[in-house]
Amino acid sequence: MELWDVYDQDRIKQNRTMIRGQQFSEGDYHLVVHVCIFNSEGQMLIQQRQPFKEGWSNYWDFTVGGSATAGDNSRTAAQRELFEEIGLSIDFAQLRPFLTVNFSHGFDDFYLIEHEVDLDKLVLQYDEVQQVKWATKEEIISLVRCGQFIPYYESLIHLLFDMRKRLGTKSI
């Protein structure tokens, strides 16, 4: 059972939790994070979800993403998800989200990081990730268009790639 902290519309934690999968009450929100890692060639590290993973099975996705669990803040959730899903340890203590996308029941913080990653040294979480690879913006958009990537807005993908060298992106 996974517990999420409940937030209000102003992103103020409400001193209560909810169980993942439970119906949201009016005015309740939760926190989601995504980490997008780019290499010096301008490619993003993407992952393919396991075929048995509930929700978007077999689809490609950004480097990592997931819900913050009870007690997490945005940084600790991002750091935990990155380590859990692909075995990559990066200290998020001095990082902050590049942008936040609001959705119907929450806030989705995006972290943009430039970091050279040796794919052979990653440890993929069996329950979540079947494979990873580097991809260009064009390759990701093509995967979205053919129904093999989670159907994010193409404009979001353009924004992430266009802003990866701008204020808010961290090179490690």
Q: What pLDDT, on a 0 to 100 scale, did the predictor assign at position 170?
A: 65
Note whether 39 and 116 are within 8 A (CB): yes
- Residue 128, phi then psi, degrees to nearest 5: -120, -50
Q: What pLDDT, on a 0 to 100 scale, did the predictor assign at position 165?
A: 77
- The total number of structural domains that make up the chain: 1
Q: What pLDDT, on a 0 to 100 scale, did the predictor assign at position 164?
A: 86
Q: What pLDDT, on a 0 to 100 scale, did the predictor assign at position 172?
A: 65
Note whether 124 and 86 are within 8 A (CB): yes
Give me the tens of pLDDT residue by residue for the chain, a chain 172 residues long.
899 999 999 999 999 999 999 999 999 999 999 999 999 999 999 999 999 998 899 999 999 999 999 999 999 999 999 999 999 999 999 899 999 999 999 999 999 999 999 999 999 999 999 999 999 999 999 999 999 999 999 999 999 999 887 765 666 6
| Chain center to CA of 57 | 16
Q: What pLDDT, on a 0 to 100 scale, did the predictor assign at position 80?
A: 98
Which residue range forms the structural domain that includes residue 28?
3-171
Q: What is the CATH number of the domain that holds 101?
A: 3.90.79.10
* pTM, rounded to two decimals: 0.94
Q: What pLDDT, on a 0 to 100 scale, did the predictor assign at position 100?
A: 96
Q: Which of 1, 7, 35, 6 is nearest to 19 (CA)?
A: 1
